Amino acid sequence: MPTIQLNSNLYDVYADVEDADLYLIAAIHAANWQSASEDTKKQALVSATRLLDRQRWRGDKTDSSEPLAWPRTGTGIDGVEDTIVPADIVNGSIELALSLIDGSDVQANSTPLAQKLESIKAGSVALTYFRSAEGIVASGARFPTVVQELVGRYLAGSEAALLGVVTGVESGTHDGNTSVSDDDFGFSQGV
């Protein structure tokens, strides 16, 4: 597992500056990364790792003494090895670090997946969303789209399953013909 040293402290990370520089050298969207100081890059990578480690992931940590959430066992995802951090997680941490340098508000996003509803009407049903509500993945996801595309299938929970369906990653057992809620909210009868 790579580490990053800031001042005299060592931090465990999914990718170090060398890994990130190599990954982002050919990325057209990485100009801010290229011009950032070494310490800023280190701080972004530590912050990205911390953000990722606060998520609920599929499976369990392979070794409970490991400082980070990955590697994991029992994810149910083909090709994920119990002793190796998937490349998607490493690359997701790099893309997330870049997003932080670019000014992403991902750390302040207190309502991921929140619907941005402006008004609702009962007669003849009408919903109006705020103009900034561009869709569940683009505006409400926990992470920027590129990061969500990389790490989304590894996330546990209903939000991850929903995003997996929206982004084309199969997840869950919903067949599209039944409610995903067991509660009928008193409206199971016709008018």
pLDDT of residue 35: 97
pLDDT over 90 for what percent of the chain? 60
- Domain boundaries defined on the chain: 3-166
pLDDT above 90 for 124: no
pLDDT of residue 142: 74
Q: How far apart are CA 109 and CA 138, in angstroms?
A: 13
DSSP one-letter string for 1-50? --EEEETTEEEE-SS-HHHHHHHHTT-TT-HHHHHS-HHHHHHHHHHHHH
pLDDT tens for each residue of 142-162: 789 999 999 999 999 744 444
pLDDT tens for each residue of 86-116: 999 999 999 999 999 999 878 776 555 455 5
pLDDT tens for each residue of 49-89: 999 999 999 999 999 999 999 999 999 999 999 999 999 99
